[in-house]
Structure 1
């Protein structure tokens, strides 16, 4: 696969690493093509993988959509290509953690929002600058950002094009947690290991349950959980037996 997106295995976690550090990992069609190949591979064969971590090489996550490519006119493999790659990533039957240090602007923020969990370094910088360039979102930001931070805060970010620190992202709920830069790498690994220790069956089923009921009225969501939930996983007995054995020991 292309070295524009690297794949690194750390235990049961797979790290997908945007790899254009000389361009601040800015996003162009070849980067998305490389990312898509990895995501499709994980869709088809994710045995042994419990969590996906999306991150950038070097000092930042991504400066966003490559403006030079926009200006020159991108040639997409098919319409809405990038949006569909992001949707495939978000829909993986695995927890997706976005690890953000440095820049995470506009198109990069749209990509970051595919993560179920966002871990930010203090020096992270989040912004939506679509309006600065007379653009509108087409990769999902207008839908995912308000669902994550609320409509009022999303409007603030979109209308002001202001930059927010990692701590500010944590305070508004954009990031689940913000940690000092020196602790960021270890924190990402610790979260990935903590998630990977739990049942992949439950992770996939719970993710589908939340996705399928998002936006439903409470009674409809409760009914879906009761009547359409996926129930007990194949690893339940082994997990309970292992717990009981530890208690006896």
Structure 2
């Protein structure tokens, strides 16, 4: 990749997505800030990317809708001339025991997390230029097997399979495909509804004795994008919790 990298970051109005977008901005990259809801937050991220040194636009799309995702990639092409990096952080995480989960909630998780990854990866596979990278998002819960996370972990197991297969399907393209699997990370989504005691307990599970920060996850994403010899891998970014 040249000095001017064009990156699409899905879910960029959220905690981890925002950290990734801002980090790309600090590297001088052009960033398409994707959001599904929260236009105001997305606008804030655009300003933050610009303040960090990059160019940015915000584009709304339903990640599971092929036409909307195609339009998202078309905007990147029109505005910045192409796509080099796709970081797909967008996802949802409704929790319930398997015996109790409403099937409509299960279907929603699979639509956003599995179909959404498939649709975004399909567009990325058709668009990302040589020397580029695709980074999907899994979760350390696939190893931790925590009760209540059945539907979510199942969706992320599918994401890992898609990631590993796409890496091999892009043979000869000089495009890497990997997944990041964060552990507990101090984002508004994670902290919501948890007592200080629960947060302290979860933080204590990591040998490093703290929760991850969005910046920790962004570090891993930037490293995967920069490396040309890490490919077809799921990288656990959790401070040693699993």
User: Which bin holds the TM-score, normalised by the shorter protein?
Assistant: 0.3 to 0.5
- TM superposition score normalised by structure 2: 0.34
| Greater Rg by CA | 1
Q: Compute the TM-score of the two structures, normalised by the length of structure 1.
A: 0.33
Higher relative contact order (CA 8 A, sep 6+): 2
